[in-house]
Structure 1
């Protein structure tokens, strides 16, 4: 049976006692859970702490340290940062035995070819298969939950009692979603016990739940009341992406999607990249590469300092804002590559009037700091405008703004100034909106009743060759017949509104005598008019390999169901005439 999603496939999760959500974010990660009989009482780890940096946060940094020879030796989050930093300061060379990956989630958004062979590069440029990195990160979160909470406080809970929810950006490709499911399986989570939650949808459910709390108990922070029939946007501004969805509320706890999700890579780390690019412009590429590879600890510290620095920009009233910098490392590298000192490099740059160095502090003019923010606020506003244009004619009065960067006063001001007639709402704990909403989604996966397809879905077929319609170069002979290879057969058009569980049924059959397998290859395309699966804008999502019991010379038939409208495409298959369903796995290619 293929992967299942929500409760739309036959392999739905049965009788869990607890729902656990895992949120692997670009910058920060965490988990949350609640019991089936108390779904609204959502628990988290509380506070994650760093001993080295003396930091505490409600989620832990998304960084991973893996031993090069023993993959079972790994650390995640603050523990990875602390241990790797300690190794870097020692002269034993122990750090050379480890990979250190930081903020790696965005690779699944920017990479065009997502596959099990895809590589990720760590802070020193060393590579490891991405599937090992992501699966180890998921495993680390899972094991932290198990060790700290379940083994200590809930010993009666077994793995089979847990329904797992994994959060994924709605704007990710279908292939990236399938990749993450595969990573979760490698981390020890059974596919049949896992559902995928789209991050802005989870946040929408959280906002609805917070509204109910206020309505029923009159407590908490004011939040916009969305009535039946009303429309709203959820704008999830995370570390890597901005993810936007438009919903119409049908009835209590039921919504439908108005258009497919939209967004881009203009989250909080885009600001970091702007500042790092500024330093790179001043000192040159060689210095920045040297900082990462030769002064790795200083580089990691610099990234953390940037995270703290950008939080203070919006609330700063003075004309300047200070940021700690690794002066010694930068001075050494600048001299090595003929730039003099770091101070001299700054004084000779285009930023000489905006940046000043005092000891190990870089003093930045607020006008420059705000200018760096503008690079993403303009993109966020543009993405919101794009969504509103796609649903032109529908009234939307309320924007829910959530995510790790949603509390930035600069970002909030940009949205409010651009959409003055809208009610801009940031709920309690916006950084936890996705995570806690994902727990709620695990309890009510039918919250979204219909979705709009982001791609055209099709299958690969080999029809009888038609000289008027087919490319002559694709003509092949098979068992005495001429067929056309790699034809894209459209199953579902792009931008189609699909009720959850919408089904397309197709009958396949064997082409050759004694054929032992039938392969159902599924493709996604940017265009409905795609003719061939190897055409531009078309890529293979995966394939379902169906074993044919007792192959014969007679033609055998396979009934295949494609389930649309869920957070994932679900495909199931049954060989006709067999008493039991065939065993098949939807494989990422």
Structure 2
């Protein structure tokens, strides 16, 4: 075994805490050196903002090295040599167990964890290089406490994939390393807001919800402040929730509009550079920064340069003719041209791209505040939260419950800055003397979690009086009795308060004498009163395997299985009584795909 990967090898001291906000539309990074609370944002080459497009250019030929990220993507791209992966993080929400990703530009399909690893690897290298350039300090990846942000509503399988990608990218030396922390994005925003908003707003006892509006999802979390800064302590008031109501939904509406306007040219279909260039170089800024106050001016128009699309068309139409045709079909659109390649949209027409997603966001905020009960504030963050359309929609929904909306000074930076604070609070006083412990002390379980198990009929009747086990019994030749199979052995129930250090333990053993290992199947259910693991609303949600000593009776091979549900990722540990081994087991989600 490689010495640096041995569990017995002493880890190098932490010289830095660094956070990577790997977003659907944009990404960012920030860090703080050991012994300091000063947080520095990564400045990407050629960028004026701390957030840049989540776009990676990879070589078509194996091993598919990455050659550009963010603003350098368009400069590095050569059609016959490269492919571009862009805004692909949303695929982990739509299909959390997708094994491959198709390039957005270029005919290439690669393993999902490889694409993400290429992105994380470039971000890692840029962070370490900036530390070297600005601080004259050489830091290796293994001397960093890394924090990687993920949506709070993600499934555990997606979190596991991010951890695997971080390992492949060289951030950590083992896949189970605690030098990588996964941080939930709305929690990071909450920690940052306690630092950037006035202290009298988020004081002890304040109940508030964070609405994180990003490119792919709107992620929400609810908290009660148990202790204010400098040593913030938070308790979750509800499990995290959200949906696919991010700004990419507006991109889809805009592209539908362009396809109709320009008669659906091939360059506006999937896997084209024209779509990528249009969304990143022109549309993104217009979409987020359009001022809703212009709706009151019937003459106000938004100018959009269509050159990225028109120059990719074999026979581009005259824009004036395309506009006239569209206006005849949609009399209220009132589109106009500006020169040969620019379009002028009315503010009212622009708003039609937003209407559907804004209604979804308002409905969600109303339901969130209803379930929250007493609420002092709604805190709005995220890149899409900078849109005046979104701000007005959230204010409208919150005002119906008499709740004020707070917006931090830099809502687009709250997550990455808060992620560094999260890492500092968890890195330990030895690595970061003087670090303020800002932490979520209690979380809420979004589901009922447990493992698939069995027990003899007599025990089942004692534990579940009056519950039928029809069709679920099987003769056990070793114990010489019938077992009830497919039982849901509960570890934690939906909406339970779960402290971060809470560990639930159960004992299992092989069903047969000849078994050399036991597979522990994790199951989940939205209900709290679940009994059987084969009920329709129960999901198989991964498994862990542990070896047992060969030979002997099955009844002598007891294994303690413990789960931690209060952390940002679900953790499984096993302890074999026969071998004495106790270790974290990575959950495998492949068999549930």
TM-score class, shorter: 0.7 to 0.9
Q: Is the 8 A contact 1:22 1:30 kept in 2?
A: yes
Alignment RMSD: 3.0
Q: Is structure 2 residue 157 aligned with structure 1 residue 167?
A: no
Q: Is the 8 A contact 2:573 2:583 kept in 1?
A: no
Structure-2 separation of matches of 1:408 and 1:115: 32
Which stretch of structure 1 is more off in the superposition, 492-501 or 317-326?
Answer: 317-326
Among 438, 445, 466, the alignment partner of 1:453 is 445
Which stretch of structure 1 is more off in the superposition, 198-207 or 147-156?
Answer: 147-156
Structure-2 separation of matches of 1:579 and 1:530: 33
Match for residue 501 of structure 1?
Answer: 501
CA shift in 2, pair 1:416/1:117, >3 Å: closer
Match for residue 103 of structure 1?
Answer: 87
Q: Is the 8 A contact 1:291 1:329 kept in 2?
A: no
CA shift in 2, pair 1:576/1:48, >3 Å: same
Match for residue 568 of structure 2?
Answer: 567
CA offset digits 1:65-87 (Å, max 9, x no partner): 22232235212212222211xx2
CA shift in 2, pair 1:428/1:417, >3 Å: same
Match for residue 7 of structure 1?
Answer: none
CA shift in 2, pair 1:584/1:360, >3 Å: same
Q: Is structure 2 residue 15 aligned with structure 1 residue 17?
A: yes
Which stretch of structure 1 is more off in the superposition, 554-563 or 118-127?
Answer: 118-127
Aligned-pair CA distance for 1:541: 2.7
Match for residue 264 of structure 1?
Answer: 243
SS of residue in 1 equivalent to 2:353: helix
Structure-2 separation of matches of 1:474 and 1:288: 61
The within-5 A match list for 1:305-324 is 305-314=282-291, 316=294, 318-324=299-305
Q: Is the 8 A contact 2:572 2:585 kept in 1?
A: no
Q: Is the 8 A contact 2:571 2:584 kept in 1?
A: no
Aligned-pair CA distance for 1:194: 0.9
Among 42, 45, 70, the alignment partner of 1:45 is 42
Q: Which runs of 5+ in 2 are unaligned?
A: 1-8, 427-437, 462-466
Q: Is structure 2 residue 209 aligned with structure 1 residue 230?
A: no
Match for residue 454 of structure 2?
Answer: 462
CA shift in 2, pair 1:496/1:413, >3 Å: same
CA shift in 2, pair 1:344/1:476, >3 Å: farther
CA offset digits 1:172-195 (Å, max 9, x no partner): 222222222222122223332111
SS of residue in 1 equivalent to 2:89: coil
Structure-1 separation of matches of 2:266 and 2:487: 46
Structure-1 separation of matches of 2:537 and 2:16: 41
Aligned-pair CA distance for 1:457: 0.7
CA shift in 2, pair 1:447/1:352, >3 Å: same
CA shift in 2, pair 1:162/1:71, >3 Å: same
Q: Is the 8 A contact 1:332 1:341 kept in 2?
A: no
Question: TM-score with structure 1 length normalisation?
Answer: 0.84
Match for residue 121 of structure 2?
Answer: 139
Structure-2 separation of matches of 1:382 and 1:427: 23
Q: Is structure 2 residue 367 aligned with structure 1 residue 386?
A: yes
Structure-2 separation of matches of 1:230 and 1:193: 32
Structure-1 separation of matches of 2:262 and 2:141: 52
CA shift in 2, pair 1:484/1:46, >3 Å: same
CA offset digits 1:328-366 (Å, max 9, x no partner): 35864777xxx9974465245336733233410111111
SS of residue in 2 equivalent to 1:431: helix
Structure-1 separation of matches of 2:484 and 2:218: 42
SS of residue in 2 equivalent to 1:37: coil
The within-5 A match list for 1:150-549 is 150=132, 153-190=135-172, 191-211=177-197, 225-252=201-228, 253-283=232-262, 287=264, 289-292=266-269, 296-304=272-280, 305-314=282-291, 316=294, 318-326=299-307, 328-329=310-311, 332=314, 342-343=322-323, 345-350=325-330, 353-358=333-338, 359-392=340-373, 394=374, 396-420=375-399, 421-445=402-426, 447-464=439-456, 469-472=468-471, 475=474, 479=478, 482-549=482-549
Aligned-pair CA distance for 1:494: 1.1
SS of residue in 1 equivalent to 2:39: strand
Q: Is the 8 A contact 1:506 1:559 kept in 2?
A: yes
